[in-house]
Structure 1
Amino acid sequence: MDGNIEILNFIYQNSEMGTETIKHLIDITEKSTNEEFKNILYSQYNEYNKIFKDSEKMIKDRGHDPKDINKFQKITTYIMINMKTLTDKSPSHLSEMLIQGSTMGVIDATKRINQYDDADKDVLELANKLLDFEKDNQEEWKKFL
C-alpha cells in the first residue's frame, strides 16, 4: 500500500474516532446547562466529520476502500469514556479528557506527516488540516479546565 493511502487511512480513522467520541460526549452532556461547552462539541463534531468525509473520498478516488477502526477499539473507547465520566461529567473533566485525546492526535499526525513527507500535496494538506484542528482543539478546551 502506498504512502498516500497509509496517511489517508490514518486521517480517516483519527477523524472517525473523533466523531464517535464527541458524539458519545454530546449524549453524556445533553443535560448540561453549559451551552458554550455543548456548542464547541457540536462544532468539533462537524469538523471531524468533514475531515472524515474528505479522507474517505480521497481514498476512494485512489481506488481503495477506507479501513474502519476495529470494533474492539471502538468498544474499548466507549467503555473508557463511560468509566471516566461515571462520577464526573463536569466541563473541566471532559475538557481534560478531550485535551488528552487531541494531544495524542497531534503526536500521531505529526509522526505520519514526517513519515510520509513525500505524499501527494492534497494528502499532506488534509493531514496538516487535521493537525491544525487538533492543536486548535487543545487550546479551545483549556478555558474549561
Structure 2
Amino acid sequence: MTTHPDTLNLLRETDLGVQMGLYTFDQLLDRIKDDRLKQIVTASRNDHRRLQGELRDLIKGYGSYEEDPSLMTKAMAWMTGNMKMSMDDSDQTAADIITRGCDMGTKTLYKYMNQYDHADLSVRDTARKLIAAEEDLEKQLHPFL
C-alpha cells in the first residue's frame, strides 16, 4: 500500500514548521533578559524538540525524506530577527518576533491541514499538537508584548 501524497506533504510542512520554530528560539534565547520569558521560551523549545522527535519517527515510518527550511527562508528569518533586535534589543521585541512566528506558523499549518485533508491521522495529530503548542506559546507571550 502506498502512502497518500497528502500525508507526505503535511508531514514535510509540519517538520518545516518545527524547524523554523527551533531556529527562531535558538536565535533569540541568548538575547532574552527576563527569567520568566526565558523559561517560557525554553519550555516551548523543549516541546518543539519533542515534536521534532515524533516527526522524525513518522518520517522514518513513511520512508519520507527530511528537508531543511530553504536557505532563503532561514536568511529572511535571521535578517528580520536581527534587524528588529538591533533596533530594539528588548524582551518585548523578542516576544513580538516569536509571537509573529507563532501566528504565521499556525495559519500556515491550518491551511495545510485543510489542503492535505487526506493525510494519515498520525501526521494530522502531530500537526495539531504543533498548532496547540504555538497557540499556547503565543498566549503566554502576551504579557511581554
Q: Matched residue pairs, number?
A: 142
Using the TM superposition, name which of 36-45 and 84-93 deviates more: 84-93
Question: Is the CA contact 1:26–1:38 (under 8 Å) kept in the aligned structure 2?
Answer: yes
- Aligned AA (1:18): G
Question: Is the CA contact 2:8–2:119 (under 8 Å) kept in the aligned structure 1?
Answer: no
Residue 131 (structure 1) shift: 1.0
Rounded Cα–Cα distance in structure 2 between residues aligned with 1:10 and 1:117: 13
After superposition, residues 94-105 of structure 1 pair within 5 angstroms as 94-105=94-105
1:88-137: CA deviation from partner (whole Å, max 9, x where unpaired): 12222221221111111111111111112221111111011111111111
The yes-or-no answer on 1:15 pairing with 2:21 is: no
The yes-or-no answer on 1:128 pairing with 2:128 is: yes
Unmatched 5+ stretches in structure 2: none
Q: Could you state the TM-score of these two structures normalised by the residue count of structure 1?
A: 0.91
Map of 2:82 onto structure 1 = 82
Question: Is the CA contact 1:11–1:52 (under 8 Å) kept in the aligned structure 2?
Answer: no
C-alpha RMSD over aligned residues: 1.3
Which protein has greater RCO, CA pairs closer than 8 Å, 6+ apart? 2
Residue 28 (structure 1) shift: 2.1
Residue 70 (structure 1) shift: 1.5
Q: Which runs of 4+ in 1 moved over 3 A?
A: none
Rounded Cα–Cα distance in structure 1 between residues aligned with 2:72 and 2:115: 27
Rounded Cα–Cα distance in structure 1 between residues aligned with 2:144 and 2:66: 35
Unmatched 5+ stretches in structure 1: none
- Partner SS for 2:18: helix
Q: Could you state the TM-score of these two structures normalised by the residue count of structure 2?
A: 0.91
Rounded Cα–Cα distance in structure 1 between residues aligned with 2:40 and 2:110: 24
More helix by share: 2
After superposition, residues 1-145 of structure 1 pair within 5 angstroms as 2-29=5-32, 32=33, 34-145=34-145
Rounded Cα–Cα distance in structure 1 between residues aligned with 2:125 and 2:46: 19
